């Protein structure tokens, strides 16, 4: 069985990372028809006709997404290995809930493990991204 | 000025866009994949290796110990660990056979069809069994290393004392759990030599290990660090093994070979934090003055010595903590067991001995009916006093002020009183506790002198400056902090600094990326090399040209513009390896951490409500990065204290999965509130001290003290799982 994770990486979409291969860490997170999923748990055959967004598709050309800018500004990325999945989790959260509170941010990122940051800079980055998105839409 | 500002992470853009290249993102034409066949037995003699039919074995590259061209030894401190077991195995999961093939699924099948027949020998699994020495599994007495620190007359002080408080404390193994598993890609040909690319902290450790393994001249080896997805010590020594394995397969096959561990293999086979057992006997006066500290500190090194001697050294020196006591004895021992070798993990022995000490200090306070803060305050070491290993503390220290501020920030006194009043009848009991501690930065003792690290800076005609160092970015911020330091020393913008990818073919040996040394020790070399470069440039071109034109003209008229700097110990620093005495570290960072907890008396789950981390770390180079270092270290400490339990079964980790080895998620952590005091350190770049390991030391004792306060029982062992806490409380009730 080919996993969606392997198929994406074979397409040189190597921003999709394998951290555990059992759906625990979220490093392989992608958006599949707009939903955040662990691509290590999705058989390729189930992804037929789906619209898939990986980290490679989050920035518009050279222009970073507000979440990406906020992660850089607020120290949300350290070693970077969880970052693609974490950024997608944050993008997905803010699409569903543009103004999450602390508990909602924590719950929204609960499927993505980070061993470096202790999450605090990531929470800060998500709040910062909310402000950036508000300013953009004004 | 850039130092002191939160300059954004240098490689941040490549990380948030997924463009950063980790070793598993590399592929070379004709590349094979490699796997490791490991011992299923914890100890025994290899009688046969069989390759079952059903696999085209002629098409599979097979490497055993017999194929090793040089020494079958992982070069580190002692020469006791083989790359591939030869004749005997000393731990489960010990590598015996390596296989490579282009098809990964066939390879997995092939691995299952190799049988290693082992005649078992009796294994030793615990510190107690190892110390009992009924079965000798290493050397003459199962002991990798011993230290004895002795100051004053401990026996006389104990004999005279009215109050002696004893305690025994244990800490468990901990998996580093970097989210990127270990991985290496190697190319090796007799005519060219060996090149490896991989995930690592210490390129020159790998370089020297490959040199011995292949018996090749140093210039025919090249080690390149790829973007590294976390290390925390777990990529300090182990990458030397994996790089050697990939290179052996590449050497035999003539093809590039990549080995990337899956999560289960990484957890079950690579190093973890040393389990420990510490015994304290403390003599104290009625008014709270420490008279004698007698400490017996033992760590479980696993089957081979790896870094255990130096882990033991740091743990031993930190065992008496930030206190002055006239009579101190610390006996440190690292012992062998038949489990995979334990190794470097952030804090490097200090979190273990500090956990024991800071739990014990609360119990000493209770024994003389004194508040825990008051006992500490009476005994903090002060500037000018001498530590247990004979280091005169020359730098300013103000632990009482740190303690006061931390207790104020956490509203400690009011809360402690409130919880005391409300806990008796409550089904949710609350507690608050703290720990006071320090962490020495840089290698222990004469380590930095032996390393004699070098950094080189090189200017280009475009007016850019390249920093050449073997210190690696593993998430902690090396690239950014070095850029800030270099930019300020050169008087140019931080955007004009480039950090060269660590590659032993082009960067000098700046020592390993460990021991909270990168910013303080190597950052200082960056600073002095930058000052040298600027002086050379200004001397030749005059100081009034703009930097870019000056560089261009210098290079065109005179030649390459480079400057290097090499480590020399600060004047007056002295350490004796023979007497194990002197200036153990260049300086120390100091801290007080406070934890507030709630215990659900029905489930015995501990919830953290608040965490205050206050530290004095010299000048903070980059506040956002420094805060992130503290928060991340505290989170790992919280995991070690409450969640992360390695379950051992017959010398193997039985829960080698993220599903049942539980690290903190975003839902599990309290607000971690980070505060700094900044007392500039004379010999650090811009006044900075080391920072990376410090936050690993304080969480465990602070939380254990808070849990002990809330539950009214004495925690002596971590992790504090609900099962363990329930058993303790049942004993207390019964």
Residue B732's pLDDT band, with cuts at 50, 70 and 90, is confident
Which residue is closest to B6 within chain A, CA to CA?
A73
- Pairing relationship of beta strands A35-38 and A29-32 according to DSSP bridges: antiparallel
Two tokens at B621? 């180079």
Q: Do B665 and A120 touch (CB under 8 A)?
A: no
- Rounded CA separation B587/B442 (Å): 8
Nearest CA in chain B to A26: B179
Query: Cα separation of B63 and B84, whole Å?
Result: 9
Note whether A27 contacts B179, CB cutoff 8 Å: yes
Our CA-based measurement puts residue A27 at a distance from the nearest CA of chain B, in whole angstroms, of 8
- Across residues B715-734, what is the average pLDDT? 92
For chain A, say whether B548 makes contact (Cβ under 8 Å).
no
- Residue B644 contacts A, CB cutoff 8 Å: no
Distance in Å, alpha carbon of A137 to nearest chain B alpha carbon: 22
- Of B446, B432, B406, nearest in space to B599 by CA: B432
Query: Considering chain B, what percentage of its residues have pLDDT values greater than 90?
Result: 98
What does the pLDDT read at residue B475? 98
> B169 is written with which tokens?
């404390």
CA-to-CA dists, residue B363 to B165, B357, B438, angstroms: 8, 10, 20
Contacts of A117 in chain B (CB under 8 A): 628, 631-632, 635
The interface predicted TM-score of the complex, written ipTM, equals 0.99
Q: Which residues of B touch A83 (CB under 8 A)?
A: 15-16, 18
Q: Are strands B465-468 and B497-499 parallel, antiparallel or unpaired?
A: parallel
The CA R_g of chain A, rounded to the nearest whole Å, is: 14
Shortest Cα distance from B67 to chain A (angstroms)?
32
Does residue B663 carry a pLDDT above 80? yes
pLDDT at A25: 98
Going from the C-alpha of B435 to that of each of B173, B351, B592, B696, B734, the distances in angstroms are 21, 11, 6, 12, 30
Directed axis angle between helix B547-557 and helix B523-541, to 10°?
70
Candidates A79, A103, A104, partner chain B, best to mutate (most B CBs within 10 A): A79
Picking from B6, B8, B18 by the largest number of A CB atoms within 10 A of its own CB, the best residue to mutate is: B18
CB contact under 8 A, B625 and A75: yes
- Which of B18, B21, B24 is facing A55, going by the closest CB pair? B18
Facing residue for A115 by CB, picked from B12, B13, B178: B178
Q: How far apart are CA B236 and CA B471, in angstroms?
A: 12
Task: Identify the band that residue B477 occupies on the pLDDT scale cut at 50, 70 and 90.
Answer: very high
Q: Where are the alpha helices (DSSP H) in B149-200?
A: 154-160
Q: Distance (Å) from the C-alpha of residue B346 to the closest C-alpha of chain A?
A: 12
Q: What is the pLDDT of residue A1?
A: 84
Q: From the CA atom positions of chain B, what is the Rg in Å?
A: 26
Global pTM reads 0.98
Could you tell me if B658 and B178 are in contact, meaning their C-beta atoms sit under 8 angstroms apart? no
* Furthest C-alpha separation in chain B: 87
With 0-12 / 13-18 / 19 or more C-beta atoms within 10 angstroms meaning exposed / middle / buried, residue A46 is exposed
Model pLDDT, residue B544: 87
| Per-residue confidence (pLDDT) for residue B580, from 0 to 100 | 97
**Pair type for strands B32-38 and B257-260:** parallel
* pLDDT for residue B589: 98
What residues in A contact B228, CB-CB < 8 Å?
A: 79
Residue B543 has pLDDT above 90, yes or no: no
Residue B224, C-beta contacts closer than 8 angstroms, at least 6 positions apart: B195, B196, B197, B198, B203, B501, B502, B503, B504, B505
Which pair of tokens denotes residue B707?
Answer: 């849990």
CB contact under 8 A, A117 and B628: yes
Beta-carbon separation of A21 and B628 below 8 A? no
CA dist., res. A128 & res. A119, Å (int)? 14
Whether the pLDDT of residue B684 is over 80: the answer is: yes
Mapped onto helix, strand or coil, the DSSP state of residue A124 is helix
Contacts of B272 in chain A (CB under 8 A): none
């Amino acid at each position: 069985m080919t996993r969606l994770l392997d198929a994406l990486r074979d397409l040189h979409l190597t921003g999709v990372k394998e951290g555990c291969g059992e759906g625990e860490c979220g490093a392989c997170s992608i958006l599949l028809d707009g939903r955040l999923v662990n691509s290590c748990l999705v058989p390729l055959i189930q992804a037929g006709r789906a619209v898939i967004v990986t980290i490679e598709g989050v920035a518009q050309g050279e222009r970073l997404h507000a979440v990406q800018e906020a992660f850089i500004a607020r120290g949300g990325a350290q070693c970077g290995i969880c970052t693609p999945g974490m950024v997608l989790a944050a993008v997905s959260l803010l699409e569903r809930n543009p103004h999450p509170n602390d508990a909602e941010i924590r719950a929204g990122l609960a499927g993505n493990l980070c061993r470096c940051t202790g999450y605090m800079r990531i929470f800060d980055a998500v709040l910062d991204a909310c402000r950036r998105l508000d300013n953009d839409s004004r | 000025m850039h130092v002191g500002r939160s300059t954004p992470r240098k490689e941040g853009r490549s990380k948030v866009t997924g463009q950063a290249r980790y070793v598993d993102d590399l592929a070379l034409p004709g590349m094979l994949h490699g796997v490791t066949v490991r011992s299923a037995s914890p100890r025994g003699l290899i009688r046969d290796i069989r390759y079952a039919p059903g696999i085209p074995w002629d098409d599979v590259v097979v490497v055993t110990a017999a194929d090793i061209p040089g020494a079958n030894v992982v070069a580190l401190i002692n020469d006791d660990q083989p790359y591939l077991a030869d004749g005997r195995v000393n731990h489960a999961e010990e590598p015996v056979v390596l296989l490579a093939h282009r098809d990964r699924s066939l390879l997995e099948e092939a691995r299952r069809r190799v049988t290693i027949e082992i005649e078992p020998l009796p294994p030793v699994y615990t510190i107690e069994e190892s110390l009992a020495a009924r079965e000798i599994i290493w050397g003459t007495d199962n002991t990798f290393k011993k230290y004895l620190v002795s100051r004053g007359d401990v026996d006389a002080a104990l004999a005279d004392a009215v109050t002696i408080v004893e305690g025994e404390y244990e800490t468990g193994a901990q998996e580093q759990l970097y989210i990127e598993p270990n991985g290496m890609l190697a190319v090796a040909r007799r005519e060219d030599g060996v090149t490896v690319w991989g995930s690592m902290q210490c390129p020159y450790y790998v370089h020297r290990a490959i040199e011995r393994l292949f018996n090749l001249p140093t210039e025919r080896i090249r080690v390149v660090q790829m973007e590294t997805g976390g290390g925390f010590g777990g990529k300090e020594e182990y990458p030397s093994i994996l790089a050697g394995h990939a290179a052996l397969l590449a050497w035999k096959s003539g093809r590039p070979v990549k080995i990337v561990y899956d999560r289960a293999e990484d957890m079950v086979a690579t190093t973890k934090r040393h389990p420990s057992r510490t015994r304290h006997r403390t003599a104290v006066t009625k008014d709270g003055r420490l008279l004698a500290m007698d400490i017996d500190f033992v760590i479980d090194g696993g089957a081979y010595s790896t870094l255990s001697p130096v882990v033991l050294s740091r743990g031993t020196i930190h065992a008496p903590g930030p206190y002055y006591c006239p009579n101190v004895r610390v006996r440190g021992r690292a012992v062998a067991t038949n489990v995979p070798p334990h190794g470097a993990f952030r804090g490097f022995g200090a979190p273990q001995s500090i956990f024991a000490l800071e739990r014990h200090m609360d119990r000493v306070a209770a024994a003389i009916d004194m508040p825990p803060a008051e006992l500490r305050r009476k005994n903090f070491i002060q500037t000018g006093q001498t530590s247990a290993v004979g280091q005169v503390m020359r730098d300013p220290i103000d632990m009482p002020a740190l303690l006061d501020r931390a207790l104020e920030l956490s509203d400690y006194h009011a809360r402690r009183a409130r919880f005391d009043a409300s806990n008796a009848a409550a089904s949710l009991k609350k507690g608050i506790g703290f720990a006071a501690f320090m962490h020495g930065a840089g290698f222990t003792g004469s380590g930095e002198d032996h390393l004699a690290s070098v950094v080189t800076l090189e200017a280009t005609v475009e007016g850019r400056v390249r920093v050449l160092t073997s210190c690696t970015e593993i998430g902690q911020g090396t690239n950014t902090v070095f850029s800030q330091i270099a930019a300020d020393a050169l008087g140019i913008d931080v955007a004009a600094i480039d950090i060269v990818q660590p590659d032993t073919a082009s960067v000098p040996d700046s020592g390993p990326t460990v021991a909270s040394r990168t910013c303080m020790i190597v950052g200082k070399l960056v600073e002095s090399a930058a000052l040298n470069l600027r002086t050379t440039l200004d001397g030749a071109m005059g100081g009034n040209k703009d930097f870019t034109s000056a560089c261009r003209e210098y290079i065109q008229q005179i030649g390459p513009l480079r400057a290097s700097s090499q480590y020399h110990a600060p004047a007056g620093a002295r350490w004796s390896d023979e007497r194990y005495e002197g200036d153990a570290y260049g300086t120390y960072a100091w801290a007080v951490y406070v934890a507030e907890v709630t215990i659900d008396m029905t489930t015995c789950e501990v919830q953290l409500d608040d965490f205050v981390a206050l530290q004095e770390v010299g000048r903070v180079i980059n506040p956002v990065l420094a805060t992130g270092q503290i928060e991340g270290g505290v989170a790992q400490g919280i995991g070690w204290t409450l969640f992360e339990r390695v379950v051992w079964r017959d010398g193997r980790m039985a829960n080698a999965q993220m599903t049942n080895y539980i690290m903190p998620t975003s839902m599990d952590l309290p607000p971690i509130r980070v505060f700094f005091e900044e007392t500039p350190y004379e010999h650090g770049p811009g006044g900075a001290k080391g920072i990376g390991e410090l936050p690993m030391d304080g969480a465990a004792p602070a939380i254990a003290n808070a849990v002990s306060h809330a539950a009214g029982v004495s925690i002596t062992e971590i992790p504090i799982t609900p099962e363990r806490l329930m058993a303790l409380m049942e004993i207390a009730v019964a």
